[in-house]
Chain A
Amino acid sequence: MAPHDNRRPFKRAAISDQQKRRELSLLRQAQNRRDAQQQARCLASSILSLQSAAPESQPEQSDIELETVPEAEQESEAFSKDLDVRQASKLRGPEVRKWFARQLMLPEWMIDVPDRLAQDWYVFARPAGKRCFVVSSNGTTVSRQRNGSILHHFPSALPAGAKIRDGSGSAQSYCILDCIFHELDQTYYVIDMVCWNGYSLYDCTAEFRFYWLNSKLEESGACNAPSHYHKFRFSAVPVYNCDQSGLHAAYTGVVPYAKDGLLFYNKHALYQTGNTPLALVWKDENCSQFVIDTDGKGEIPSQQQVVLELQDDRKLVTSDDPPVLFGCLDGDIIEKSGLHTGNLLRFAIGDGGLSFVDGKLEKADLIYLGKSNRARAFADSYSKGFQLKSL
């Protein structure tokens, strides 16, 4: 038996570069496989949520008649969890638009005053600007508008928002903020916090989310002036209890941004994607410069307009969940205009306005104008129709 050689590596790195290449390749492949899987899962869920809107009955006459759509599947929005927001950046084309359109919590128009407004609700002045999701992860920050298009791609002081050496770039760490980008002062006004530092706030009440938003955002340094690793300033908005003085402050108070209406948030509501009656928006000429739709030239059109989605049975529905049927389109128009299922169409509300029976929309006088802007990803909501009516 020979003696045993116990020599050890001398002045050598622990692993060879070849081994490193091998491991990095395996890592990339595993990541790509995960992405492919995740994409398959996400695609499946976004297709599903779009299909869920298809109603069953088919009206016989081409006259525009109204009925509410039968109860649609309840879970169609259920996939809107934080993981998907990050994964969804892998989606392409129309899919990405459809997907992102459904991730933000969308307020209904305020039609009546909710009970216990003073006790259960917050109010704040909505900044004018582009509503978007801001996602920070892996050392970078991306903001995406409701239609899925990227607004900015930038470094930020949010956790995991820039490649800096404090180790905050760990894979677990990421943030998702519901923001409005205010062009004038190039600031992201954070109106809600969905995930912070890897911790999901979807299931937290607005009360907690706003508290968290105010303490954490400041702490992170995201409110500081822009710098090399922090391209845009973030800011919280002043939020008030919905009592007399709070309402007054929100309505008339001076804020550093241009106001676009008031937002009301129910304190006990969780972050729910899509339209929700637990968040409401109010606009009038005192608190918003955009109270009325304007056309491309900034002029007020003679008739108010709504955008509705065309279903495969010629029905026109809102973006609500379940969608509300506003009417049915004439087959001729569909053929002549080369319209397809899923197209978003712009209508003027005619002199007939909207008629209601027992609080339900019964009839709407709609005049077809044409296809809506391509960047639009969703139809208007039912409550917009209402506020238009009440104007």
Chain B
Amino acid sequence: MAMEVTQVLLNAQSIDGAVRKNAEDSLKQFQEQNLPVFLVSLSGELANEEKPVETRKLAGLVLKNALDAKEQHRKFELVQRWLSLDGNAKSQIKACLLTTLTSPVSDARSTASQVIAKVAGIELPHKQWPELIGSLLSNVHQLPAQAKQATLETLGYLCEEVSPDVIDQDQVNKILTAVVQGMSSSEGNTDVRLAATRALYNALGFAQANFSNDMERDYIMRVVCEATLSPEVRIRQAAFECLVSISSTYYEKLAPYIQDIFNITAKAVREDEEPVALQAIEFWSSICDEEIDILEEYGGDFTGDSDIPCFYFIKQALPALVPMLLETLLKQEEDQDQDEGAWNIAMAGGTCLGLVARTVGDDIVPLVVPFIEENISKPDWRQREAATYAFGSILEGPSPEKLIPLVNVALTFMLSALTKDPNSHVKDTTAWTLGRIFEFLHGSVVDSPIISQANCQQIITVLLQSMKDTPNVAEKACGALYFLAQGYEEMGPSSPLTPFFQEIVQSLLTVTHREDAGESRLRTAAYETLNEVVRCSTDETAPLVLQLVPVIMMELHNTLEGQKLSSDEREKQSELQGLLCGCLQVIIQKLGASEPTKYVFMQYADQIMGLFLRVFACRSATVHEEAMLAIGALAYATGADFAKYMPEFYRYLEMGLQNFEEYQVCAVTVGVVGDISRALEEKIVPYCDGIMTQLLKNLSSNQLHRSVKPPIFSCFGDIALAVGEYFEKYLMWAMSALQSAAELSTHIAGDDELVEYTNSLRNGILEAYSGIFQGFKNSPKTQLLIPYAPHILQFLDGIYMEKDMDDVVMKTAIGVLGDLADTLGSHAGSMIQQSVSSKDFLNECLSSEDLMIKESAEWAKLAISRAISV
């Protein structure tokens, strides 16, 4: 019962588009007509040694795509489809796949490996195909090298595909034994050893128990370290990748090996080929990541509470590690700063040096300063650049007290280098270093300012000058200006930037018009800096920000003038529109925040809205998101008058809510519905039917990214608060959606990410309840809410007793208790008194150190006392 697929598969790879299209249609048709036969045929094709290699490969690929997809819901469908497939067909397919592992054709073997892993990924969690691992491993020792290599590769993919808890320890042990034996130096075949090393990389996650056993761990570590010395570069690289993975997965087990690993990595960094050296550096970067996390979490206080202690590997290795990293800085490539995708040993070494500085703080400074002093004025640009890069790298981590004296000395030198150094690479790094100085050592965090009135002018002059340099240097200069402005935020009514505001804005706009602004993301950087300059501006410069409005509007207008564009040009156009909408959004938010500027700004509202509406006609997710955010800010500034834009805007709002694929757009639109509800209040009523219908639809969809669902619930609250008792129409639907979500979110079982998500869901649900209660308050329809009260109180009690809510949820939850009491009054008095929330939970919140929680709790206490006293 197989069909002939060879010709169709060949056609599907034809260079003739029409032939290809035809073949693809046929494949689709086969699939729809008789799926089991089709899949069996594909597996037969893959297994058949007489077929051409291309069709075998493609058959495997089509088979693989029938098992897995990127989109979550599609993947789910495919899994269900496979599980319900005829058992006989599945057995045939699996047999073909396993046979193919012994094929002499390497592409066929490799394809089969991947498909087997996909099938295992579906079946093993359902306790199906239990014999798979056994049969893969049964005679692995006796297999010819090619089949052995394919088997190990299959195990690698399988470990990538399946989660560790579905494979029992006995099988894990067998897998690891086979893999580690394949890796060992006694394995003569390079391909086998490489496949085994790569398989170990994926299998490490399964080795929890084995890493807890000293002997087994010692053995695995020895084999990995030996593999880093293999004569084959790909094996060395793969072995270092294993070490990198071990450094994060088994950090706490590394102490006995760290000295040896240092020796191995140091040798690799100094002598080995770049791909290997990069992994060796990455090992130390990864250790830094671990230690930074541990130190951040426990604040250096390691009592019995900490899960994982900090072993201070970096601190101990420091005297040897830092010189090793400094050496790498001198290995720059020419023009690496003009190449977006560049990644080389100097870049990796500098990045690692920055992480080391964050890990150890002050201790790194004396180890790096001599290197800087020795090299910063050398005739060789590599030395000057390396010295500057080293300086820039250590600016985050050490204390300001340690760094400020250095910066005070270096600042003038840097400013002069940025204008005078003949080498563009040096200037690039110098501008970046200035940016880091301003980011970490300028602003309200620092006691003694590094920028005075005297050098402020010079700094700005130099940065504006550099913005005319090559795109990569100009981009870094924009970045430095960004942080310079940021440091003056919250500076009070007067900013030192005020005298230069006009000049800065003008220079940034000039940069955006440079012909080469598309290179090195220069245009983006210029607009981002403009945004930050606006955000951090003070009342003194509000008139100048106002003047900017028509300028940016004109820019946006120009992008909308219809000329025929190539798809490449259109993409650039969209990017620019996104930047301009983002800039307008920042300006609107700034000017809308204070009454006098808002008043003047409103003269532009009609025109701006007109532009945004035209922007929606263009198809680009980023642009839509930016325009939507800007409209939210505009609605907030406009207030009830926003109603006049609604007839035209509504369809784009609806479009945004329907945009499941680009869920960021959907999420942002949901937030804007909230803005509009608050702005329009009851004037939003005419649009509520459409909005509520769509929101309810979104909630029940499994295609919508889950992160959008909590904001949808919050949005229910916004609408209810805006329209009051008019919400009655939707009450039943909204409450039932809330109730089922509440039941789901009472208990959390899962990782940190799930805990975080569940708490955000709870918060959304609670905000909805708050909005609904407050919206119905003082209305004759209050009693409609009474039937829902028991469940809501139960939900509050439930999440209280779970003891895993975060502070935000706690604050919202106790507020809901108050809102319920406030709105329902005596109707809910006895119900409230019976709830745990009204006693233990309330008391806990009343004595909270979090002011917001305390405030909400006090409100709740008063509302309850009234409800039960009446």
Contacts and interface: CB of A to CB of B under 8 A. Distances in A.
Interface of A: 1, 3-4, 6-8, 10-11, 13, 16-18, 21-22, 24-26, 28-29, 32-33, 36-37, 40-41, 44-45, 47, 73-75, 78-79, 81, 83, 139, 155, 162-167, 169, 172, 198, 228-229
Interface centre among B157, B721, B855 (most CB of A within 10 A): B855
A1 B198 contact: yes
Nearest to A80: B862
Contacts of A8: 285, 348, 351
A75 B633 contact: no
B476 A163 contact: no
A83 B853 CA distance: 11
Given A33-B718, A83-B859, A44 B671 contact: no
A5 to B, nearest CB: 8
Contacts of A21: 531, 582, 585-586, 626, 629
Contacts of B359: none
Contact of A29 (B201, B244, B527, B632): B632
Contacts of A165: 443-444, 490-491
Interface string B698-721: 000000000000000010011001
A99 to B, nearest CB: 15
Nearest to B114: A1
User: Could you tell me the dominant secondary structure of chain A's interface residues?
Assistant: loop
Contacts of B866: 73, 75, 78
Given A36-B718, A163-B490, A24 B774 contact: no
Given A1-B199, A79-B859, 4 more contacts: A3-B275, A17-B532, A25-B671, A37-B774
Given A3-B238, A6-B282, A155-B492, A172 B851 contact: yes
B385 interface: no
Interface string B57-71: 000000000000000
B78 to A, nearest CB: 23
Contacts of B195: 1
A43 to B, nearest CB: 9
Contact of A17 (B492, B531, B671, B770): B531
A37 B815 contact: yes
Given A79-B862, A165-B443, A198-B851, A1 B777 contact: no
Interface residues of B, number: 82
B493 A163 contact: yes
Contacts of A16: 528
A83 B855 contact: yes
Contacts of A10: 342-343, 347, 351
B275 A28 contact: no
Nearest to A34: B852
Nearest to B337: A11
A44 B819 CA distance: 10
A201 to B, nearest CB: 14
Interface in B255-297: 275, 278-279, 282, 285
Contacts of B636: 28, 32
10 contacts: A13-B479, A26-B671, A28-B636, A33-B678, A33-B714, A36-B718, A41-B822, A79-B862, A81-B859, A165-B491
A227 to B, nearest CB: 12
B153 A81 contact: no
Nearest to A75: B866
Interface string B179-223: 000000000000000010011011000000000000000000000
Contacts of B815: 37
Contact of B862 (A17, A37, A75, A163): A75
A1 B491 CA distance: 54
Interface string B714-746: 100110010000000000000000000000000
Contacts of B718: 33, 36
A7 B156 contact: no
Contacts of A169: 490
Contact of A4 (B201, B479, B714): B201
A29 B671 contact: yes
B652 to A, nearest CB: 17
Nearest to B632: A25
B445 to A, nearest CB: 8
B771 A37 contact: yes
Nearest to A83: B855
Nearest to A37: B770
Contacts of B531: 17, 21
A165 B447 CA distance: 8
Contacts of A198: 851
A11 B675 contact: no
A6 B278 contact: yes
B675 A3 contact: no
Nearest to B763: A30
User: Could you tell me the dominant secondary structure of chain B's interface residues?
Assistant: helix
Nearest to B492: A163
Nearest to B770: A37
Contacts of A228: 492
Contacts of A25: 585, 589, 629, 632-633, 668, 671
Contacts of B163: none
Interface in B633-656: 633, 636
A251 B586 CA distance: 58
A24 B275 CA distance: 40
A32 B678 contact: yes
A41 B818 contact: yes
B476 A11 contact: yes
Contacts of B664: 22
B476 A22 contact: no
Contact of A22 (B629, B771, B819): B629
B279 A6 contact: yes
Interface string B462-488: 000000000000001001001000000
Nearest to B818: A41
B432 A229 contact: no
A41 B674 contact: no
A41 B582 contact: no
B45 interface: no
A17 B585 CA distance: 12
A22 B774 contact: no
A6 B244 contact: yes
Please provide the 9 A-B residue pairs with the shortest distance between their CB atoms, ordered closest to farther: A17-B528, A40-B774, A165-B444, A83-B855, A163-B492, A7-B343, A1-B198, A6-B282, A25-B629
A83 B721 contact: no
A11 B395 CA distance: 13
Interface centre among A3, A16, A79, A155 (most CB of B within 10 A): A3
B343 A75 contact: no
A174 to B, nearest CB: 9
B12 to A, nearest CB: 25
B859 A41 contact: yes
Nearest to B354: A8
A24 B589 contact: yes
Contacts of A78: 862, 865-866
A107 B622 CA distance: 61
Contacts of B102: none
A17 B671 CA distance: 19
Contact of B674 (A7, A11, A13, A33): A33
Contacts of B342: 10
A28 B586 CA distance: 12
Contacts of A81: 855, 858-859
A3 B234 contact: yes
A75 B678 contact: no
B582 A17 contact: yes
Interface centre among A22, A164, A167, A172 (most CB of B within 10 A): A22
B94 to A, nearest CB: 22
Nearest to A229: B492
Nearest to A163: B492
Contacts of A26: 671
A26 B429 CA distance: 34
A17 B718 CA distance: 28
A33 B767 contact: yes
A40 B863 CA distance: 13
B721 to A, nearest CB: 6
